[in-house]
């Protein structure tokens, strides 16, 4: 998709250059010192072309700690609106929440992300949504390494012939398994919090396994 | 910028002292600076002698134990909403205790540099801290430290373990006050008492307590025929009421009951009979608080109406177990009592879950404990293993019946989780559609295992065939047992496979009689007492007892005792197997209590020479037993 655009690539804005520059340093991937951004997006739907991001929520995790001060929450101004999904996330088109234009939100997000590792539940979806938004503003794709709690959870399960592993584990299932309150479910930051706690619990299980290392898990 | 997470943190904080005394904006500033910390069970939060952190901690979820070296004596267990690790920060000195996650926990780390000015400016906050420093460790000696908050040294004297946690603890009284008017008849108030499952009823006029009627009053005055059954309460009540303020310690309550020779105290707002009654304290409540009597605990379990109420009782059960082991009470008796109590907890959980269902069960059912719980060999908190069977229904009704029992099982599994049984990692739980079946479905499944005994089928049989009825209809279980024997009778080759399964466990000792430890993984260099020592005994006992067509004895030690009875020639040998089982079980339980885990993995370097010799003695028996199995069931080397 980006192939024939290369020649006409416009000058990239400064915030992108800063973001890009943060990746020059070679990462060490030491678990306890690594910073993770646990992220979730609420969207108008599941169509990567048509649908838009309404909200991005993210938390900063380091070691076994979530730094509340460093949490990230933006609501986006969008033309598209879908009353069906609005029932799920409760974000109204003309609601009271303070909303900002998409580009401004992306700029803030990139400054926040830097070279941190992104963690999400079904990461592919959120990343693709963000990448499509970036493309609409003639920006390249995200450069961050990612982890997916849906995949990590599967790896953390015991290897037993008696246990049938499911192909998909929803965030609700994880919340039930790990006894995490679903109070703020379907708000971006609430889902990010559930994902973050699940992430910490999964990693503590994975750490007990032989040859635990962060690097091979990254995508 | 909006920060929903810090709002949630503030929502939680404002419910707990001292944060409830903070102003809104203070709470908000504080909440934004908090770190949310996850700690897995058993991990250290801070250690004795460590320099103070920048934060103190509030427990959001889970529990934290504060222990004192060198004996790792538990000074306190902090619960949700409790703060800990504050005093060293205030006093600017090193930690005097070890703090460990007693359960998997989520903590709020509160920065001291932001909190300290609030504590110094806000009198209410300061007072709370002074009080909590004086009493939070529940340390009887700390009284003398009242009023010296800042720069105060932590009390290093450890309390006498026999009085620990007891005397000065405030009692929990029943706030759910059962009362009646002076005019209510004896018959009616007896009905009320029966319905509410209480032994006493408070007679009130207006809001003020005027008398009390207890079981004893009814017995002495009504049942004897001294008064007719429609006598009003005012005639038979004990009056005046002995009243006390609600802030009563256990010792005070015991003294009061002894002094007035009564079994119930009425607690009022200010302690006089002229204010509103707020609760009743019975001898039973005091006994529960002391937590050292199985009968009292059983009663407390049966009175629970919420899962959460059972959890503290389970902690009392663990204290009881610890006490029994310390006093060296025979393990057979100990495990009987503890299993009985654990069983009562499970039953109550099921009852509570049934109460939450919209409809009554559409068919008869039985809740089965399987695996080690089915064998009543599980004394510690561990994973739950269970299954459900319901009576056959017409095929058209099967989907909805299955759906009902799955929903019930989901609730029970969650309830059991709440009271401290972890989810089974292999999903051997009744909420798994594979383990929640009708009688016929179960029979088919069992037949399949017996007729096609591959490795998985044998493993499943070994877990499931130790089932034990926890709740429900006994006949369903008996039908399953009959089916097993009938099917095995037709396919005796199954015994051979079960026997060879029993010989699969790795040997406990190597060629030079040294312990074989785990080679890798989280438990590298630990000795796996379950897999290497207990399982060979359990598996062998199962195949032997099944081959005698005996069902209904699930406990491994008891199975060996039965075998000794059935085969007098080998009686001595089987009794030694029974002894070895008990010894290992006790060993595992003590290890588990010591480390707050299942006790399965043992650090050999922590054992005394004597303990090692004791362990090794049991291995000899295991080896002999495996030879007996191998010969009796003609397990060929190919199968092994």
- For the stretch B231-268, pLDDT in tens is 999 889 888 888 887 777 777 777 777 777 777 888 88
The whole-number pLDDT of residue B136 equals: 46
Contacts of B2 in chain A (CB under 8 A): 73, 97-98
Of the candidates B510, B514, B515, B534, the one whose C-alpha atom is nearest the C-alpha of residue B592 is: B534
pLDDT of residue B186 exceeding 80:
yes
Confidence of residue B141 (pLDDT cuts 50, 70, 90): very low
The Cα diameter of chain B in Å comes to 85
Residue among B8, B414, B426 whose CB faces A160 most closely: B426
CB B5 to CB A193 under 8 A?
A: yes
CB B5 to CB A71 under 8 A?
A: yes
Cα separation, A123 vs A144, whole angstroms: 12
pLDDT of residue A53 exceeding 90:
yes
CATH of B179-290, one of 2.40.10.10, 1.10.150.120, 3.10.580.10, 3.40.50.2300: 3.10.580.10
Q: Which of A203-207, B163-167, B250-254 has the lowest mean pLDDT?
A: B163-167
Gap from A189 CA to chain B (nearest CA, Å): 7
Of the candidates B170, B270, B171, B261, the one whose C-alpha atom is nearest the C-alpha of residue B214 is: B261
Gap from A7 CA to chain B (nearest CA, Å): 39
Please calculate the CA angle B422-B505-B370 and round it to the nearest 5 degrees.
Answer: 35
Q: Is the pTM of this model over 0.80?
A: no
Contacts of A162 in chain B (CB under 8 A): 426-428, 456, 459-460
The whole-number pLDDT of residue B264 equals: 82
Gap from A175 CA to chain B (nearest CA, Å): 12
Of the candidates B592, B465, B457, the one whose C-alpha atom is nearest the C-alpha of residue B539 is: B465
- Residue-wise pLDDT for A80-111, tens only, equals 777 777 777 777 666 667 889 999 999 999 99
- What sign does the dihedral B53-B56-B61-B64 (CA atoms) show? positive
- What sign does the dihedral B304-B307-B308-B313 (CA atoms) show? positive
DSSP B321-370: HHHHHHTT--HHHHHHHHHHHHHHHHHHHHHHHHHHSSS--SS-EEEEE-
The predicted model gives B607-620 an average pLDDT of: 83
Nearest residue of chain B to residue A177 (CA atoms): B423
Where helices occur in chain A by DSSP H, the ranges are 14-21, 83-89, 102-113, 123-136, 149-156, 171-177, 188-206
Q: Give the burial class of B638: count Cβ atoms within 10 A of its Cβ; 0-12 exposed, 13-18 middle, 19 or more buried.
A: exposed
Reading the block at residue B420, the tokens are 């401290």
Confidence of residue B537 (pLDDT cuts 50, 70, 90): very high
Q: Which of B27-31, B287-291, B300-304, B325-329 has the lowest mean pLDDT?
A: B287-291
- Residue-wise pLDDT for B67-117, tens only, equals 888 777 777 788 888 888 888 887 778 888 899 998 889 999 999 888 888
User: What does the radius of gyration of chain A's CA atoms come to, in whole angstroms?
Assistant: 18
Gap from A152 CA to chain B (nearest CA, Å): 15
The whole-number pLDDT of residue B151 equals: 30
Residue among A69, A157, A160 whose CB faces B33 most closely: A69
Contacts of A177 in chain B (CB under 8 A): 423
- Residue-wise pLDDT for B302-314, tens only, equals 888 899 889 888 8
DSSP B202: E
CB B5 to CB A97 under 8 A?
A: no
Confidence of residue B37 (pLDDT cuts 50, 70, 90): very high
Q: What is the ipTM of this complex?
A: 0.87
CA A53 to chain centre: 12
Residue among A57, A64, A187 whose CB faces B38 most closely: A64
Contacts of A208 in chain B (CB under 8 A): 521-522
Contacts of B456 in chain A (CB under 8 A): 161-162
Note whether A149 contacts B: Cβ–Cβ < 8 A.
no
Gap from A72 CA to chain B (nearest CA, Å): 7
pLDDT of residue A22 exceeding 50:
yes
Terminal-residue alpha carbon distance, chain A? 21
The whole-number pLDDT of residue B530 equals: 87
Q: How many residues appear in chain B?
A: 640
Note whether B460 contacts A: Cβ–Cβ < 8 A.
yes
The whole-number pLDDT of residue B426 equals: 85
- Residue-wise pLDDT for B440-494, tens only, equals 999 999 999 999 888 888 888 888 888 889 999 999 999 999 999 899 889 988 8
| Whether A115 contacts A36, CB under 8 Å | no
Cα separation, B404 vs B558, whole angstroms: 36
Residue among A64, A68, A197 whose CB faces B9 most closely: A68
| Whether A201 contacts A186, CB under 8 Å | no
**Test the B interface: residue of A58, A59, A69 with most B CBs within 10 Å:** A69
Q: Which of A47-51, A130-134, B138-142, B407-411 has the lowest mean pLDDT?
A: B138-142
Phi, psi of A38 (to 5 degrees): -95, 120
Where helices occur in B122-232 by DSSP H, the ranges are 123-135, 186-196, 215-217
Cα separation, B349 vs B304, whole angstroms: 9
Cα separation, B367 vs B346, whole angstroms: 10
The predicted model gives B342-367 an average pLDDT of: 93
Q: Which residue has the higher pLDDT, B51 or A1?
A: B51
Confidence of residue B134 (pLDDT cuts 50, 70, 90): low
The predicted model gives B602-619 an average pLDDT of: 83
Cα separation, B165 vs B563, whole angstroms: 45
pLDDT of residue A63 exceeding 50:
yes
For the domain B4-145, what is the CATH superfamily, name and number? Jelly Rolls (2.60.120.10)
Q: Which residue has the higher pLDDT, B293 or B80?
A: B80
3-state helix, strand, coil in chain B (%, to 5): 50, 15, 35
Q: Which of B80-94, B281-295, B592-606 has the lowest mean pLDDT?
A: B281-295
The predicted model gives A49-65 an average pLDDT of: 92
- The overall average pLDDT reported for chain B is 82
CA A167 to chain centre: 20
Burial per residue of A197-209, b for 16 or more beta-carbon CB atoms within 10 angstroms, e otherwise: bbbbbbbbbbeee
Identify the three-state secondary structure at position B96. Answer: coil
Cα separation, A133 vs A136, whole angstroms: 5
- Residue-wise pLDDT for B492-526, tens only, equals 888 888 888 888 877 777 766 677 777 776 777 78
Element (H, E) at B559: helix B556-566
The predicted model gives A203-207 an average pLDDT of: 89
Task: Express as a percent the part of chain B with pLDDT over 90.
Answer: 24
Phi, psi of A46 (to 5 degrees): -110, 10
Confidence of residue B164 (pLDDT cuts 50, 70, 90): very low
Task: Express as a percent the part of chain B with pLDDT over 70.
Answer: 90
| Whether B31 contacts B6, CB under 8 Å | yes
DSSP B362-410: SS-EEEEE-HHHHTT---S--B--EEEEE----GGGHHHHHHHHHHHHH
The whole-number pLDDT of residue A7 equals: 53
Contacts of A202 in chain B (CB under 8 A): none
Gap from B413 CA to chain A (nearest CA, Å): 11
| Whether B285 contacts B293, CB under 8 Å | no
Which residues face A38 on adjacent strands?
Answer: A59, A119
CB A163 to CB B522 under 8 A?
A: no
The predicted model gives B410-418 an average pLDDT of: 93
Domain boundaries, chain B: 4-145, 179-290, 294-491, 500-632
Q: Identify the CATH class of A40-156+167-210.
A: alpha beta
The predicted model gives B128-149 an average pLDDT of: 46
Note whether A70 contacts B: Cβ–Cβ < 8 A.
no
Q: Which residue has the higher pLDDT, A11 or B450?
A: B450
The predicted model gives A58-75 an average pLDDT of: 93
Contacts of A187 in chain B (CB under 8 A): 4
Note whether B38 contacts A: Cβ–Cβ < 8 A.
yes
The whole-number pLDDT of residue B162 equals: 35
The whole-number pLDDT of residue B290 equals: 65
CATH topology of domain B294-491: Beta Polymerase; domain 2 (3.30.460)
pLDDT of residue B169 exceeding 80:
no
Relative to beta strand A99-100, strand A65-76 is parallel
Phi, psi of A66 (to 5 degrees): -100, 125
**Test the B interface: residue of A64, A181, A183 with most B CBs within 10 Å:** A64
Q: Which of B30-39, B157-166, B204-213 has the lowest mean pLDDT?
A: B157-166
Task: Express as a percent the part of chain A with pLDDT over 70.
Answer: 92
Of the candidates B420, B170, B410, the one whose C-alpha atom is nearest the C-alpha of residue B311 is: B420
Distances (CA, A) of B476 to B365, B389, B391, B461: 7, 7, 7, 18
Of the candidates B79, B61, B60, B69, the one whose C-alpha atom is nearest the C-alpha of residue B136 is: B79
The predicted model gives A49-64 an average pLDDT of: 92
Q: Which residues contact B602 (CB under 8 A, 6 or more apart)?
A: B526, B527, B528, B529, B591
The predicted model gives A178-192 an average pLDDT of: 86
């Amino acid at each position: 998709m980006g192939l024939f655009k290369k020649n006409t690539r416009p000058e990239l804005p400064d915030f992108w250059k800063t973001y890009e520059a943060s990746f020059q340093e070679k990462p060490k991937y030491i678990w306890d010192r690594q910073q993770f951004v646990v992220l979730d997006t609420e969207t108008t739907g599941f169509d990567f072309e048509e649908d838009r991001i309404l909200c991005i929520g993210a938390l900063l995790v380091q070691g076994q700690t979530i730094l509340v001060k460093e949490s990230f929450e933006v609501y986006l101004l969008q033309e598209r609106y879908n009353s069906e999904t609005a029932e799920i996330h409760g974000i109204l088109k003309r609601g009271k929440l303070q909303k900002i234009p998409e580009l401004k939100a992306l700029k803030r997000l990139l400054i926040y992300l830097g070279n941190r590792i992104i963690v999400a539940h079904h990461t592919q979806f959120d990343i693709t949504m963000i990448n499509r938004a970036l493309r609409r503003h003639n920006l390249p794709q995200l450069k961050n390494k990612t982890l997916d709690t849906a995949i990590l959870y599967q790896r953390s399960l015991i290897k037993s012939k008696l246990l049938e592993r499911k192909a998909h584990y929803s965030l609700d299932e994880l919340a039930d398994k790990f006894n995490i309150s679903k109070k703020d479910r379907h708000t971006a930051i609430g889902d990010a919090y559930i994902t973050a706690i699940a992430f910490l619990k999964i990693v503590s299980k994975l750490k007990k396994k032989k040859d635990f290392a962060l690097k091979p898990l990254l995508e | 910028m909006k920060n929903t997470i810090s709002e949630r943190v503030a929502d939680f904080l404002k419910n707990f002292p001292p944060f409830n005394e903070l102003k809104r904006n203070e709470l908000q500033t504080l909440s934004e600076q908090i770190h949310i910390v996850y700690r897995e069970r058993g991990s250290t939060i801070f250690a004795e002698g460590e320099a103070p952190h920048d934060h103190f901690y509030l427990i959001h979820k889970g529990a934290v134990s504060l222990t004192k070296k060198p004996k790792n004596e538990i000074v306190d267990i902090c619960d949700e909403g409790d703060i800990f690790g504050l005093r060293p920060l205030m006093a600017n000195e090193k930690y005097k205790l070890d703090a460990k996650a007693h359960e998997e926990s989520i903590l709020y780390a509160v920065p001291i540099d932001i909190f300290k000015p609030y504590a110094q400016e806000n009198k209410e906050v300061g007072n709370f801290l002074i009080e909590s420093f004086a009493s939070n460790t529940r340390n009887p000696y700390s009284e003398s430290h009242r009023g010296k908050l800042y720069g105060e040294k932590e009390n290093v004297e450890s309390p006498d373990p026999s009085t620990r946690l007891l005397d000065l603890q405030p009692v929990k009284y029943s706030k759910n006050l059962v009362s009646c008017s002076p005019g209510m008849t004896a018959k009616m108030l007896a009905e009320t008492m029966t319905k509410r499952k209480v032994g006493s009823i408070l007679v009130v006029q207006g809001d003020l307590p005027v008398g009390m009627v207890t079981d004893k009053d009814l017995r002495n005055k009504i049942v004897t025929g001294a008064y007719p059954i429609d006598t009003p309460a005012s005639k038979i009540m004990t009056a005046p009421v002995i009243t006390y303020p609600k802030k009563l310690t256990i010792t005070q309550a015991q003294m009061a009951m002894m002094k007035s020779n009564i079994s119930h105290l009425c607690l009022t707002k200010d302690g006089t009979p002229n204010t509103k009654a707020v609760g009743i304290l019975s001898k039973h409540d005091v006994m529960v608080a002391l937590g050292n009597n199985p009968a009292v605990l059983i009663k407390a379990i049966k009175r629970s109406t919420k899962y959460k109420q059972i959890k503290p009782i389970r902690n009392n059960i663990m204290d009881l177990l610890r006490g029994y082991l310390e006093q060296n009470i025979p393990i057979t008796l100990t495990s009987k009592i503890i299993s009985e109590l654990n069983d009562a907890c499970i039953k109550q959980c099921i009852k509570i879950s049934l109460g939450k269902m919209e409809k009554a069960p559409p068919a008869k059912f039985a809740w089965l404990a399987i695996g080690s719980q089915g064998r009543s060999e599980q004394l510690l908190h561990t994973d739950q293993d269970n299954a459900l069977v319901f009576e056959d229904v017409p095929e058209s009704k099967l989907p909805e019946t299955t759906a009902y029992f799955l929903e019930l099982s989901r609730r029970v599994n969650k309830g059991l989780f709440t009271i401290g049984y972890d989810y089974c990692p292999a999903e051997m739980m009744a909420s798994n559609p594979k383990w929640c079946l009708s009688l016929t479905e179960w029979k088919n499944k069992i037949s399949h295992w017996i007729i096609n005994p591959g490795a998985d089928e044998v493993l499943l049989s070994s877990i499931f065939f130790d089932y034990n009825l926890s709740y429900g209809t006994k006949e369903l279980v008996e039908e399953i047992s009959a089916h097993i024997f009938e099917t095995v009778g037709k396919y005796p080759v199954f015994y051979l496979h079960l026997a060879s399964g029993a010989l699969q466990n790795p040997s406990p000792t190597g060629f030079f009689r040294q312990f074989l430890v785990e080679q890798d993984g989280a438990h590298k260099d630990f000795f796996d007492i379950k897999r290497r020592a207990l399982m060979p005994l359990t598996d062998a006992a199962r195949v032997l007892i099944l081959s005698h067509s005996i069902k209904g004895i699930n406990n491994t030690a008891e199975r060996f005792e039965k075998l000794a009875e059935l085969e007098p020639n080998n009686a001595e040998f089987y009794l030694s197997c029974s002894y070895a089982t008990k010894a290992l079980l006790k060993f595992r339980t003590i290890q588990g209590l010591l480390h707050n885990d299942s006790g399965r993995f043992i650090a050999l370097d922590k054992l005394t020479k004597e303990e090692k010799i004791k362990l090794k003695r049991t291995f000899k028996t295991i080896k002999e037993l495996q030879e007996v199995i191998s010969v009796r069931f003609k397990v060929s080397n190919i199968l092994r």
